Each structure stands twice: as C-alpha cells, then as structure tokens.
Chain A
Amino acid sequence: MENPYLPIPVRIDKVTIETEDRNLKTFRFVYVNPADENRFQYKAGQFGELSVSGKGEIPIGIASSPTEKGFVMFTVNKVGLVSSALHDMVEGDVMGIRGPLGNWYPWETLEGKNVVIIGGGFAFTTLRSSIVMMLDPANRGKFKDIHVVYGARSPGMLLYRDELAAWEARDDINMHITVDSAKDQPDWKYNVGFVPAVTEAKAPKGDDDTYAIVCGPPVMIKFTQPVLDKLGYKHDHIIMSLENRMKCGIGMCGRCNIGKDFVCKDGPVFTLEQLNKMPKEY
C-alpha cells in the first residue's frame, strides 16, 4: 500500500535570499532519485509538505511552475520551529517533500479567459507558479489578457525581483507592481500605494470572461474584495487560496477544516462564492 506520509527525498540545489529582511528564502530542490520527479506532477496552486528530517513538516505552496523541469521550488518565510530549521539548511543538504497536495487554480475554467492576479506580501508563491506557467510559449495562447497586481511593504520586500522586472518588459502581461512606501528608493519607477487602491485604478472591469485570483494577508483580502465588487466581479469569478494550520495535508488529521471541507484536500483554492457559504474559520 502506498504510504502518503512518506516524503520523497530531495537535495537542496540552490538557496536564494529573497527579501531585505532575510526572512524569506527560496529553496530549489532536485530529486535524490531522478525518477521521483514523475511522482511529483503538480499544477499551479498546489502545495507540498516540506519535511526537515528530525524537526517536522510544514505546508508550503509550490513556487515553481509545472513547465519548469528537473527541480521544484518553494519560498519560505521564517516563522517558527520547522521554517527556522529549514532556513539554517544549506545547499547539498537532504530533506523530504510530500505531495503535490490540495487542489489548484481552476485552469480548465480559466482557459480562454482574462486572468487578473492580485497578490500581497509573501503570498505570491503559487502566483509566481501560475504566471510562469501561463507565460510559457505552450500556454500563453490559451489565455486572453493577463494582469498582475502585486504589492509589498517596500521594494526590498518584493519576491522574485529579477523576474518581476523581466515581466514588466514584456508586452503579453500587464504588470502593476506596487509598494506601500518607496521613500528609501528614489529611483523606484512603479506604483506606490496599497494593493486594493492599485487594483481599483489598474485592474480591468469584471465580466463573464474575467477571473481574479487573490492571495495575500487577511487585511489585503478584506479591502480588495469591496474593490472587486465595485469593479463588477461576480463571486464565482473571484478565486482565493486559504492557509489553515495543517499536519497531514491529506484530509485525515482533522485539523484544517472549515465547516465540512478540509482546506488541505478540498482546497486550498475556493471561489468567493463557495467561501460565502462556509463558516469564517480561516
């Protein structure tokens, strides 16, 4: 019987410090047994359990795109026990990953549609996966306009800065990068302001063919939702990804439920229309 708790062994191939406070690092993993890559076939929006041997496991969104082969990548904020132990690890170390877990953004529905990605802070990881996937030459034609509103406290707190700059330069994606304040960086050439305000100014109006994917800290979500309502997005066109405390990631330990649904297995991706019918326990 396959054991869904058994992590796949991986080796840390590359560690990148993402933010100026050094609290966010991106870990690129390669498979110790290259054949294991086939067991980790994922879609943008799914997550994995990162397993630091002897310390524990944490659920982390997959930041690499299914179109990127030979490795898998996660960006981790240093918070507590396991994430701190992970931050202490170095290139060459062996650890485990389990997954892919959970559902994904509804790519089947999004085909042929305009996609508006709205992200804040470090909840940009699965959004990076989504953008890289959509921009892949094999996929770009499947989607209409792509808009990205992404904000962080300051320029130094944005994730994936080199890629953001590269996307800014392209004409097949509309980037709206913003920071709460750029006072330390006089040459900042993008937006200044909170994500909800930038969304209101820059995002396209809602219609049957336009979907928004929203990921970010609770305050950002709270103030972005009325903006999307004002722009005319129907609630089944607003897609969100939740984070509840997790252990098993496979709907068994009973920890992450919201009403009858498990965030780990029935989610983490839900439409706002679904969330409206669920208790506010997230």
Chain B
Amino acid sequence: MRLLQLSHSDLTRGVEALRKAFRVEAPLPERDHFVFGPLPAGAALDLSAANTRLSAKSVIYPASEKMLRVSLDPAKEDHHVYREADKDYSPRAVLGIRPCDARAFTLVKPNFDNREYRDPYWVRSYECSTFVGLACKSPCSTCFCTSAGGGPFDTAGLDVLLAESGEGFIAQVLTEKGEALAAAAGWSAAAPEGAEAALSAMKAEADARIVSRIETEKIPGKTILSLFDAPFWDDAAFACINCGACTYLCPTCWCFDIQDEAHENEGVRMRNWDSCMFPLFTLHGSGHNPRPNKTARVRQRFMHKLKYYGDKYGGGIHCTGCGRCVTHCPVNIDIRRIASLMNGYEPDNACAL
C-alpha cells in the first residue's frame, strides 16, 4: 500500500486523464439525489453525495442487460441458435464509490464466481473495473457498517481509497489495479510524513461516529429451522406492502429474472433484477406457490441476509450496513430490529417472549 497526496486540481486533472484509458463512472446528481452512471464529457466529478440513493451495484450488474441474441429468420444460417450479446468490457474506473458499496461486491462475488460456475457477465464486468473509493468522514445516522463487518474507511473491494484531508485528499493505493489507475491519472506525489497517523486518527473518529448497530452475534449458533419457525415473522411482516424497494436499493441483493424478448426476426435473452418480495418470484406454472404469502417473503429476505448467506458461504451477513432499506422502506421495516429479534430468539424460552 502506498499513500499519495492529491490536491483538488490533481483530482480534476486526473479524472480528465483517466477518460483516455477508462470508461469513467461516478455519482451523478439527479434532482434531489445521486445515482451512479457514466460521467458525461465535460462534467466535473461531484463528490458531495453522502451516498447514491440506489447502490452502485448497477455499475457491475445493470438492472436490465442483454445476455444472448438470436435470429429467428429462417434465411439466416444460424437461425434459432443463441449467441453471446456484444458487450463492452474495456477498462472502467468507478470513482467516488463508498466503502460499503465496494465491499458489497466482495459479498456478492461467491454467488457469481465460484468453483462450479462463473457468471461471465458479472465476472467480466467486475474484473474490468477499478474502484476508487471515498471514505466516509461524516456517516449518516442510519449507517451501521461497523457492526456489519465493514466501516467508513474499510478498504475491502477497493483499489484506491481517497480520504478528504485539509485542502485535498490522502489517497491509499491498495492494489496493482490501483497503481495502474494512479499512473494513468498522473497521481504520483507521495503523501507527507504523518499522513498515515492522520489517516488512522480520521478513521478512528469516523468509526466512533457510527453508533447504530446490527446484532447478529448469536445467529450462527441457531438452526435454520428454529429461526424459520420463530413466532415473530407475522408481526415483523405485518406492515410490508411487498413493494420491493428494499431489494432494488440494496447493494447485495442479487436476484434476477431471465426473459426472452422478440421483435420480428430478432430475439434477445435479457436478465432483469427481480425481487423475492414479489409473489410471482416463486409461483409455479401449476399455480402452486411455495412462498404463498407476505410473511413467507419477508422471512426469506431477512433469513437470506442474516442466516442462509452465512451458513452457505462460511460466515458473516449479507448486508453491508448501508442503511438504504432502513431509510427508504415506506412502512419503516428495519433490518436492525429484525436482526435483534432473530439474535435474541431462544426457542426453548419461546413462552417467555
């Protein structure tokens, strides 16, 4: 790891230089919020967002993308044979991503990139990206990353981490990809003596500002069935309207649907984000639905986040503590409250509840 010093103009000039070798994506202002997208030519990097409203997952894994194409024209030699859709996997720089969203990719990775199968769209999209993070010096009141395994200065999944300091930034260059990006941006001034200590102090201060917590310590010791059969799910799900906002906003929710679309003689196979909160998600052609009601669907979301994921992939929770679902749920369903119900649940003392 190397520490560099950047002034604001170094950053601006660097972004322009990066455009030559990278597709640059960054938070873009949109009405009253920010959203990740390609930085338009001439636009300056705006790092004023506390975070984007939607997570950065769309950068790697778009809400809707072409997977395959097929010709239905009998005159074409390979009609009805699917081919890979054309894609752009040229180098991409993702600038200003928050540590929670960068870490989310590392949580999602075992799903898309494992011993048995590699999802070529996710893997290539991830591998062509270099992530330049922005540390959180003033986290929001709904952030609980420190108890979810991350933190406001966490470097997991990042190639470079910028921390605002004085009249500019201290940049931690963390990986080889980060080195290549710094070189392309022309960032080379070593940080002054004491920068490391200054970073540690900033980190400690930011960590201390996060007072909200998620309690999950005791969940790994409980069985899936005891939590599944716990009595609190009806109550927990009561207000949910199954709108799916929580899964749409979440950086770690990865579920998708696959649909064919055909127009005249051209067909495409698309993948679109989907949500376990929707009744159609599990509906069989026969009409049978293994998750027939709201309680079953809410339970699935939280059991996946807080129990199934850790049991399957060897620990941790499938939540970065970004707080988006807490802020935006129209009926105030709060993953921290559900986690504490699960964490505190002892089937043997069920009558004491």
Task: Show the binding face of A for B, using Cβ within 8 Å.
Answer: 1-7, 9, 32, 51, 53-57, 79-80, 83, 93-96, 218, 243-245, 247-248, 250-255, 257-261, 265, 277-279, 281-282
Q: Given A56-B258, A260-B312, decide whether A244 and B290 contact each other with a Cβ distance below 8 A.
A: yes
For window 323-344 of B, CB contacts with A under 8 Å fall at none
List which B226-279 residues lie within 8 A (CB) of chain A.
228, 254-260, 262, 267, 269, 271, 274, 276
Is A53 a contact of B124 with CB atoms below 8 Å? no
B side interface size, CB within 8 A: 55
B257 touching A80, Cβ below 8 Å: no
Q: Are A252 and B117 in contact (CB under 8 A)?
A: yes
B79 touches A251 (CB 8 A): no
Which residues of A lie under 8 Å from residue B262 when comparing CB positions? Answer: 54-55
- Does B126 have its Cβ within 8 Å of any Cβ on chain A? no
The answer to whether A1 and B256 touch across the interface, beta carbons within 8 angstroms, is: no
Q: Which of A54, A244, A250, A281 contacts B70 (CB 8 A)?
A: A54
Given A56-B258, A279-B228; A4-B81 close (CB under 8 Å): no
Report the nearest B residue to A11, measured CB to CB: B80
Interface flag for B22 (CB, 8 Å): no
**Are the CB atoms of B124 and A1 closer together than 8 Å?**
yes
Tell me which residues across on chain B come within 8 A of A253, comparing CB atoms. 255-258, 271, 274
A259 to B310, CA, bound (A): 12
Which partner residue on chain A sits nearest B123 by CB separation? A1
Contact call B224/A279, Cβ cutoff below 8 A: yes
* Chain A residues within an 8 Å CB radius of B300: 257, 281
A32 to chain B: which residues have CB within 8 Å?
81
Q: Are A277 and B224 in contact (CB under 8 A)?
A: yes
Q: Which residues of B contact A277 (CB under 8 A)?
A: 223-225
Counting from the closest, the 5 A-B pairs by CB-CB distance are A254-B255, A54-B262, A79-B285, A54-B267, A260-B308
Closest B residue to A78 using CB positions: B285
Would A94 and B80 count as touching, CB distance under 8 A? yes
Task: For the complex, give the distance between the alpha carbons of A278 and B258 in Å.
Answer: 27
Q: Are A6 and B68 in contact (CB under 8 A)?
A: yes
A203 CA to B223 CA in the complex, in Å? 35
Q: Give Cα distance in the complex from A251 to B312, angstroms.
A: 12
Q: Which residue of A lies closest to B79 (CB)?
A: A94
Q: Which residue of B lies closest to A261 (CB)?
A: B312
Determine if A93 and B84 form an interchain contact, defined as CB atoms under 8 angstroms apart: no
B82 touches which one: A1, A7, A252, A257 (CB < 8 A)?
Answer: A7
When A93-B80, A245-B282, A255-B255 are in contact, do A53 and B112 touch as well, CB less than 8 Å? no
Contact B116–A250 (Cβ < 8 Å): yes
CB-based contact B123/A254 at 8 Å: no
Q: Is B35 an interface residue (CB 8 A)?
A: no
- A-facing mask of B270-310, CB < 8 A → 1, else 0? 01001010000111111010110000100010011001110
CA distance A3 to B123 in the complex (A): 11
Assess whether A282 is in contact with B124, with CB atoms less than 8 Å apart: no
Measured between beta carbons, the chain A residues less than 8 angstroms from B284 are 243-245
By a CB distance below 8 angstroms, the chain B residues around A7 are: 82
In the complex, are the beta carbons of A5 and B67 less than 8 A apart? Answer: yes
Judge if B2 is at the interface, Cβ distance under 8 Å: no
Q: How many whole Å from A95's CB to the nearest CB in chain B?
A: 6
- Beta-carbon contact of B68 and A281 below 8 Å: no
- Compute how far the CA of A254 lies from the CA of B282 in the bound complex, rounded to whole angstroms: 10
A168 vs B271: C-alpha distance when bound (angstroms): 47
- A262 CA to B181 CA in the complex, in Å? 39
Residues of B within 8 A of A254 (CB): 111, 254-256, 274, 276, 304
Closest residue on chain A to residue B284 by CB atoms: A245
Q: In the complex, are the beta carbons of A252 and B112 less than 8 A apart?
A: yes
**Cβ contacts A to B, 16 pairs, < 8 Å:** A4-B118, A9-B81, A51-B82, A83-B285, A245-B283, A248-B256, A252-B112, A254-B111, A254-B255, A254-B276, A257-B300, A258-B290, A259-B308, A260-B307, A260-B311, A277-B223
| Residue of A32, A83, A255 with highest tally of chain B CB at under 10 A | A255
Q: Are B84 and A251 in contact, with the CB atoms below 8 A?
A: no
A41 shortest CB reach to chain B, Å: 16
Which residue of the partner chain A has the closest CB to B84?
A3
B62 sits at the interface (CB 8 A): no
Question: In the bound complex, what is the Cα–Cα distance between A253 and B273 (angstroms)?
Answer: 9
B119 and A244 form a contact (CB under 8 A): no
Cβ of B40 < 8 Å from any Cβ of A? no
CA distance A197 to B30 in the complex (A): 66
Q: Is the CB of B68 within 8 A of A5?
A: yes
Interface centre among A9, A250, A257 (most CB of B within 10 A): A257
B315 contacts the other chain (Cβ, under 8 Å)? no
Other A-B contacts than A55-B260, A281-B282, 17 sampled, CB-CB below 8 A, are A5-B119, A6-B68, A9-B81, A53-B72, A54-B260, A94-B80, A218-B288, A247-B256, A247-B257, A250-B116, A250-B117, A251-B114, A251-B117, A255-B255, A255-B281, A257-B308, A259-B308
Evaluate contact between A53 and B267: CB separation under 8 angstroms. yes
Answer whether A251 and B116 are a contact pair too, CB < 8 Å, given A96-B81, A259-B308.
yes
Cβ contact within 8 Å between B285 and A252:
no
Q: Which of A255, A281, A282 contacts B296 (CB 8 A)?
A: A281
Does B91 make an interface contact (CB < 8 A)?
Answer: no
In the complex formed, the residue of A with least CB distance to B307 is A260
Whether the pair B274, A255 counts as a contact (CB closer than 8 A) is yes
- The CA of A93 and the CA of B271, in the complex, are separated in Å by 25
Give the residue name and chain of the A residue nearest to B122 (CB): A252
